[in-house]
Structure 1
Amino acid sequence: MNNLTGRFISFEGTEGVGKTTAINNLCQKLEDAGIEYVHTREPGGSDFAEKLRDILLSPATQINEDTELLLIFAARSDHLANVILPALKAGKWVICDRFVDSSFAYQGFGRSSDNENHAIAMQAKVKQLTADFVEKMPDLTLWLDLPVKEGIERAGKRSAADRFEQEAVDFFERVHQGYQYLAKNEPERFKRISASGTAEQVAKRIWQAVNENV
Structure 2
Amino acid sequence: MNELRWSKVDEFLIDTLVEQDEALLAALAANSEANLPAIDVSPNQGKLLHIYARMMGAKRVLEIGTLGGYSTIWLARALPEDGKVITLEYEPRHAEIAAKNIRRAGLESRVTILVGPALESLPKLHSSAPFDLIFIDADKKNNPAYLEWALKYSRKGTVIVGDNVVRDGRITDEADRDEHIAGLREFLQRQGEEQRLTATAIQTVGAKGWDGFSVAIVG
Measured against the shorter chain, the TM-score band is: under 0.3
Higher fraction of strand:
2
Higher relative contact order (CA 8 A, sep 6+): 1
Q: Which has the higher helix share?
A: 1
- TM normalised by structure 1 equals 0.26
